[in-house]
Amino acid sequence: MSIPREAPAPKQRLTEQRLTEQRLTDERVVVLDFGSQYAQLIARRVREQNVYCQIVRHDLPAERLAELQPKGIILSGGPSSVYEPNAPKCDPKIFELGIPVLGICYGMQLVVEALGGKVQHATHREYGRATVRISNHEGLFDGLADETDVWMSHGDQVAEVGEAFEPLAETDTCPVAAIRHRQLAVYGMQFHPEVTHTPLGSQILHNFVMTVCGCTGTWHLGDFAEAAIEQIRAQVGDRRVICGLSGGVDSSVTAALLYKAIGPQLACILIDNGLLRKDEQAAVISEFSNHFKTELHVVDARERFLDTLAGITEPQEKRRRIGYAFIDCFKAEAEKIQDAHFLAQGTLYPDVIESGAAKDGPAATIKLHHNVGGLPEQLGFELIEPLRDLFKDEVRRLGAELGLPETLVWRHPFPGPGLAVRCLGEVTESRLEVLREADAIVVNEIKAAGLYRQTSQSFAVLLPVESVGVMGDARTYENAIAIRSVNTDDFMTADWSRLPYDLLARMSTRIINEVKGVNRVCYDISSKPPATIEWE
């Protein structure tokens, strides 16, 4: 899929070893990733049908693919042109496996190129909404009206499909918008059913997965939890596992799963780096003791982190230093836990995919995420990552199934480097205090307005500027706070939340009145891209 910003190269590091580690569930659909930003979205949409979906590298040999016993194969979009010399291709033998294939955008062009037809550069690059006219509803388009809106994003398109294919749909500018092979269960569509801008996209994917591939939707998170618990027990035996807690949903669900599997063999470490939100340390400790009857080590490392951050204003350097300090503190505490053999991490599926991209594409160099990778190698523990097949929303549902409280399960994500990346400029205790108080007001007001669940992340940012104001009769020269609130499905793209003016007014008044040292509040109305969610 071509998109209006730099697209990543195809991701090469979804290793074959991972595939053999995977539990073979009854029903699975496999997505071959040709470098689409939206391969993850395809997987999510398929999982919404209760069918397990896994993303694999695009050039996985057909024999290896067959070993996974998928019920269907989806070829993702991608930024390349099929006729370029080094364009990523799939093993052509996958079309001979007798497994239904759906090619999306670049994936469709590959299908046509492999099985007879012609792809060429479109006279007009098409990006945005389009209306498709469907000429054959059987299979993919079952239950859809004759015309439906879809999202297009392509520079190339299929010019001729030849005898082998039957065209199923067209748009004004794209005469071959969807196709079906006349002999094989191979389909293609030029538009993107996985994005929400194609309103009936989920129905189309449902039709592919259920009607064409014959899945019945047997994959459930409850089964996942049971299997994960069994697997953890088998792997751990009678040894001990350490889990770092941050108060976030990922580490809490990881700990809950481990606790269910191995009880007191689990020991948790909470590093108070002084970069937590207001009252967060106490909240994590109280939630922990309500749910787990096992060891919790709380490390007061506030000074250590403040020292290492003193005088540092450059965002990447802040992250680097926080990463090192975190490893040091964690290591020192872990040594106190006897017989610890494993380290558990709340790595999620998008982290797995993105860390793959980090080696090969530009996507992951935007920010250094200190908690992905690095830690385990330096500590010398064997790694357990029970959530590495799940998306964030699935982790939340799993947390609820495991009995974690709603307040925890639905907590907004908080970055590993904490308030440091929201305290622009130098990180000092007094500046953190201003930020913490302002942030607490933002979150409390969002909750009071009943909008906490409807926004994905809402927080305050302390800007590195002071500005002139007037309070009473006196001139002031004080800090400015930015409020950031975003809505997003996947945190890879995000839009700013349309918060009511009255709510923004209340936040502003309260911050200026109650937080000493602030005389100005702004609201951040940038979307991602081109901005990011965090300011650093």
Which positions touch ligand XMP (CB under 6 A)? 367, 369-371, 413, 415-417, 457, 491, 528, 532-534
How far is residue 151 CA from its own chain's centroid?
21
Question: What tokens does 130 get?
Answer: 């389009």
Whole-number minimum distance, CB 481 to ligand XMP, in Å?
18
Amino acid occupying residue 469: G
Phi-psi region at 394: left, alpha or beta (left = phi > 0; alpha = psi -120 to 50) = alpha
84 DSSP 8-state letter: S
Nearer to ligand XMP, 331 or 528 (CB): 528
Helix-, strand-, coil-residue percentages of the chain, each rounded to 5: 35, 25, 40
Instruction: Tell me the C-alpha distance between 57 and 40, whole Å.
Output: 13
Q: Quick check: 103 and 110 in contact, CB under 8 A? A: yes
Nearest to ligand XMP of 39, 372 (CB atom): 372
| Shortest separation between residue 499's beta carbon and ligand XMP, angstroms | 18
Closer residue to ligand XMP in complex, CB, 202/532: 532
Nearest to ligand XMP of 168, 276 (CB atom):
276
Distances (CA, A) of 211 to 24, 235, 488: 22, 38, 30
Minimum distance, C-beta of residue 130 to ligand XMP, in the bound complex (Å): 29
Least CB distance to ligand XMP at residue 155 (A) = 27
CB of 157 to ligand XMP, least distance (A): 32
CA distance 275 to 322: 10
Q: Please confirm, yes or no, whether 105 is among the known catalytic residues.
A: yes
Residues paired with 522 in a beta bridge? 482
CB neighbourhood size of 72 (10 A): 26
DSSP of 388-424: TT--HHHHHHHHHHTT--HHHHTPPP--TTGGGGGB-
Among the listed residues 27, 53, 58, 105, the single catalytic one is 105
- Which is the catalytic residue, given 58, 154, 192, 369? 192
Contact 374, 383 (CB under 8 A): no
Which CB atom, from 126 or from 394, has the smaller least distance to ligand XMP? Answer: 394
Based on the number of CB atoms within 10 Å of its own CB, is 63 exposed (0-12), middle (13-18) or buried (19 or more)? exposed
Q: Is 213 a catalytic residue?
A: no
Q: Which two tokens stand for residue 363?
A: 């996507």
Complex with ligand XMP: residue 75 or 352, whichever CB lies closer? 352
27, 113, 126, 194: the active-site residue: 194
Residue 38 DSSP label: T
Determine whether 268 is an active site residue: no
327 burial (CB, 10 Å; 0-12 / 13-18 / 19+) is middle
Contact call for residues 174 and 167 (beta carbons, < 8 A): no
Contacts of 64 (CB under 8 A, 6+ apart): 16, 19
Which residue, 399 or 416, is less far from ligand XMP as judged by CB? Answer: 416
> Within 13 A of 175's CA, how many CA atoms are on the CB side?
9
CB of 373: closest distance to ligand XMP in angstroms? 12
User: Between residues 190 and 273, which has the closer beta carbon with respect to ligand XMP?
Assistant: 273
- Whose tokens are 């997987």? That residue is 43
Active site residues per annotation: 105, 192, 194
